[in-house]
Amino acid sequence: MSAVIDQLDLSESRTHTNRPQADLMERVILRNEGKLVANGCVVVNTGDRTGRSPKDKFLVDAPQSRDNIDWGKVNQPMTEAQFDIALDIATKYINSQNDVFVFEGFTGADLSHRLGVKVITTMAWHSLFAETLFIRPGSASDAGDGSWNHDWTVINAGVHKLTKEEQEALGHNGETYIAQSLERKVVVILGTEYAGEMKKSLFYAMNYDMPDVGVFPMHCSANIDKNDPTNVALFFGLSGTGKTTLSADENRALIGDDEHGWGPKGIFNFEGGCYAKVIGLTREKEPQIWDAIRFGSVLENTIVDDDTRVPDYDDVSITQNTRVTYPVDFIPGAQIPSVGGHAKNVIFLTADAFGVLPPISKLTPEQAMYYFINGYTSKLAGTEEGVTEPVPNFSPCFGGPFMPRRPSEYAGMLSDRMKEHNAHVWLLNTGWSKGPAGEGGERFSLPYTRAMVTAILSGALDNAETVEHSVFGLHMPTAVEGVPSEILNPRNLWADKAAYDTQADKLAKLFRTNDAKFDLSDAIRSGGPKG
């Protein structure tokens, strides 16, 4: 541990460690960091940063880990000297504050593969976020004896924005800076109050540390059949594909909604809570999430009526990335502790705005590796300046921004577990059919998608008859209970079949352009589009 960390003033008179939930909520309100909502939770504002700042995140380039890192736009290198400067800036800021809040807990519900974390913040709501999202010793999510060990430290001085002099010292143009050292096991956050930086930095840590102990780290949700503990399912997907929605099932127990490990004993949640989007939230669409927003939860950047104190989940005047954090045991019937057996089904989710991919496909081992490494979904026209038509969004392993190692290493771990445990792998398109988004296309019906998931998890499709997609070679079931058979082949739904073929060829070429970035074996490359 660096001598600079030892310089942090964590004296008892100014430090609040693992304060009770009610105490933290009271401090959030008294310190004017947030407001009480009618349903009992608190709502906070994250300032000018309402999402992660990937361009401002850097990783120490150290000899011990250098050859293991997939350096590039995601994993941007920094020097040890720059890290020391960032650490010194954060230390001086924290030492200048009257109050320091410390959370001591864990990431990893499996007792054999967990990391002890210390989260040091200057805001009460950041500590409440950590207490809600990570595993608190002695809580329902902690399967241990309540003892704590220390592996990783997060120093969150995000309220402090870098001065021009500090930017010059760091060689960085901007007020925000997130620095991470795999060797020192320390994260420093400066210039952003967005709490997701703490969550994802520790996920990044698990994604580096776990492979060395035989655990496959995954950006996915997971659930388990309430009546069959051997029936575990994983849902991989980028934002907006339905990962949280589809894993919330009244007939299945939620293991977790975002980050998991697949170890020698099975699946386990990295976290003790959930971090769900609440844009457009209704009780009818998401009853479990709706009911989880109560005392102990933290709403971020959500507009609340000043008189009634009722949140308006349709108001996105601050950001579309409105979120809530709550303990996983707020979900009725959740799997506590958050562990399960080996996965029987692995589901890749994509929201294809081109209107090309089938709503459900069973993947061969080669296709599974291909689609995992490419990690495809779509950005929609109008979501970003200059985007006038659907734009492909490829993120390796369905979580590229959080993966320090090379995609092929994670893909190899998935392949090994698929073979060892005879897991079935599926591709579900939760996007558009009948045409592209914004050009006559319609979003696939959620009840139909849920029916497909039900059929997968029941085993009804394990040996189902399939037909092969003419361009992508995907194996499309010809019948799924509760789903009109004509929608299972997307070409059937396009009035202009030639236009469909043109669009399919276009998307296939985009896949091939993206897969050229990776050193894939001929077998894995054969899992992609034909031609």
Q: What is the DSSP secondary structure assignment for residue 135, as one 8-state letter?
A: B
Q: Amino acid letter at 99?
A: D
Rg (CA), the chain: 23
Contacts of 55 (CB under 8 A, 6+ apart): 174
- Check if the beta carbon of residue 51 is closer than 8 Å to that of residue 277: no
- Check if the beta carbon of residue 360 is closer than 8 Å to that of residue 477: yes
| Torsion angles phi and psi, residue 283, rounded to 5 | -65, -35
Helices 365-374 & 497-515 angle (0-180, nearest 10): 80
Active site residues: 52, 200, 219, 239, 243-244, 258, 323
**Taking Cα atoms as reference points, which of 224, 211, 210, 228 lies closest to residue 340?**
224
- Check if the beta carbon of residue 392 is closer than 8 Å to that of residue 417: no
- What CA–CA distance (Å, rounded) separates 302 from 279? 9
E strand or H helix at 40: none
- Check if the beta carbon of residue 313 is closer than 8 Å to that of residue 45: no
- What CA–CA distance (Å, rounded) separates 504 from 472? 8
